[in-house]
Structure 1
């Protein structure tokens, strides 16, 4: 199971390119971003961790709480947790849909609600659990490479490709698919030196 600290402010690498990439943040800016994000996550009424395919949430409740005292409603794209007769502890739309039949909840020691959500898309990191809550920077997630060996060959290859493309985009460099297109063009150019490619354009979309 991969676990990671929530660090740095969210930045969508897909919006970056070699021509528009902003300068790297200074150490002071990184520290401020880290502190701000950690404060935002600490202010939530729950704690959460994730793997590439699962999300686990823990919610503290008053000691002595029993299952009959709770309202826990887990749906395909939303979740609600509340003590009966009180305002919801957490309620809203999930970042992405879940595999409902494989998602569960339990009450531990009459003081902690534990929710397990199975992602439908098992090749995507969630920047937040509920869409109206603060985001984490998924581009900074670095799963332990040793854990990749636990995946089957096809899934491991897809995860490694996703991680590579994520890093390339963050640095404003070509993804694996874009690099493949560029290599194919270079090979074609070498095979047809008589053709003029000086004005040729290659789509990276």
Structure 2
């Protein structure tokens, strides 16, 4: 279960992604306008790291951007730092490309192996948590994962080639009604 705060973020998630995308080797072009298309969350078993993956629209392209949010810098992960943001409730958050975060990698493998889904979302209100309907659905395929499995995040899920079966995480969102591979293990 993810508890979402009614908070102000500076910069916004879309602004942070827009500034970061052009510097990525797998992304060609500019990202002057990033429009959110959907998001899903996983839980950190220790409750310390926020894990949220975004589907964003960028100039006619659909891009999958998994992020982690931390209350302190992640040692050795400078190459994966997307940036920092100010969260009006939690303070400064260090935002990472999740593929470089061991908490995300472990949770993604678990979700795929156990055929699990995203967590339920609850918004914190003065009257207590209120459930929020997700704008995206994801599911792991299930299966036995070798210890040396490589994680592949599909960055452009409607364009990139990805296996249609095997150890996968698939998702649906507005504009992609059929399950689309978002990550897989090889």
TM-score by length of 2: 0.28
Question: If you compute each CA radius of gyration, which structure gives the higher value, 1 or 2?
Answer: 1
Q: More strand by proportion, 1 or 2? A: 2
Q: More helix by proportion, 1 or 2? A: 1
Q: Which has the higher contact order (CA 8 A, sep 6+)?
A: 1
TM-score by length of 1: 0.26
